[in-house]
């Protein structure tokens, strides 16, 4: 399967507008494209994309891990920072420069304008331990479910404590695995006097997304919505506009790097010799 690393990065300063832009001559015309959005700034951990894990930058470790996704045709990093671009290309991976964007979704949408991939997968740039098999499962489900515009992942809660935390995103689905709602609140609510716990009926959301290319471009062009702004959850914009989000259940969530303390946990868990 072609995952060419020899494609030249897009020059800095690429503009971005939904409905505009042109396809690169060397862009694939179908298949699955994995895009890893990365930025240098971070409110809780500036520069984390270049933090060292086992002798290589975090963003490079994520790209290496993504190469294990067997259903993908190509992997590339998208950034607006020359330092990240230099680290990625020095390691032999493809990197495209983008304009400055408020969200990773907007960044991958700019990249999608230059490629004709049928599916565009957004992998977080701070989760180097995500099992590639989970990404493969998401891609295969998207390929099987023609009515899903967007696919994402979730896993079961093992106890109610994390279910109650507002920094943990919950999702509830219908009988066909389509998302009904995402929330920071402990959903679903529990019937007074009932014996069932809400955490058993929800999934903990994992921020991996697979988009049909047309759905990604449509989503990025939509204005922010009331529920999105209330919850601070971008995916609610899709639901509020009638887009269908499917949820694939995986075994557990990956350990992400949001803080320096998280970085130390990932370093401690990093396989020896990798």
Confidence band of 30 (pLDDT split at 50, 70, 90): low
Domain of residue 102: give its range. Answer: 1-15+25-130
Domain harbouring 89, CATH code: 3.90.550.10
Cα–Cα distance, 194 to 192 (Å, whole number):
5
In a domain, 164, yes or no: no
pTM for this model (two decimals)? 0.86
Number of neighbouring beta carbons within 10 Å of residue 242: 7
207 and 201 Cβ atoms separated by less than 8 Å: no
In a domain, 62, yes or no: yes
In a domain, 82, yes or no: yes
Q: Which helix (H) or strand (E) holds 125?
A: none
Residue 189 is classified by DSSP as: P
Segment 44-70, tens digit of pLDDT: 788 999 999 999 999 999 999 999 999
Segment 64-98, tens digit of pLDDT: 999 999 999 999 999 999 999 999 999 999 999 99
Please check the confidence at residue 19 and state whether its pLDDT lies above 80. no
- The pLDDT mean for the chain works out to 87
Confidence band of 21 (pLDDT split at 50, 70, 90): very low
- Give pLDDT, residue 273: 66
């Amino acid at each position: 399967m072609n995952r060419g690393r020899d494609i030249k990065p897009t020059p800095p300063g690429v503009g971005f507008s939904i409905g505009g832009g042109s396809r690169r001559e060397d862009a694939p015309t179908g298949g699955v494209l994995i895009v890893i959005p990365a930025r240098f700034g971070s409110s809780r951990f500036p520069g984390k994309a270049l933090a060292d894990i086992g002798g290589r930058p975090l963003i490079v470790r994520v790209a290496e891990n993504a190469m294990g996704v067997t259903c993908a045709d190509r992997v590339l990093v998208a950034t607006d920072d020359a330092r990240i671009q230099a680290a990625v290309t020095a390691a032999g991976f493809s990197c495209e420069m983008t304009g400055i964007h408020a969200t990773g979704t907007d960044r991958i949408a700019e990249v999608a304008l230059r490629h004709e991939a049928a599916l565009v997968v957004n992998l977080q740039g701070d989760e180097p331990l995500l099992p590639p098999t989970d990404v493969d499962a998401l891609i295969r489900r998207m390929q099987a479910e023609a009515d899903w515009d967007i696919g994402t992942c979730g896993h079961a809660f093992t106890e109610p404590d994390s279910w109650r935390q507002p920094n943990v995103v919950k999702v509830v689905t219908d009988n066909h695995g389509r998302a009904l709602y995402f929330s920071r609140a402990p959903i679903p609510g529990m019937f007074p006097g009932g014996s069932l716990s809400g955490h058993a009926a929800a999934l903990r959301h994992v921020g991996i997304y697979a988009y049909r290319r047309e759905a990604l471009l449509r989503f990025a062009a939509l204005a922010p919505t009331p529920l999105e702004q209330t919850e601070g959850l971008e995916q609610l914009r899709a639901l509020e506009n009638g887009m269908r989000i499917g949820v694939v259940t995986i075994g557990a969530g990956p350990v992400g790097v949001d803080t320096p303390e998280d970085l130390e946990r990932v370093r401690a868990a990093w396989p020896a010799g990798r």
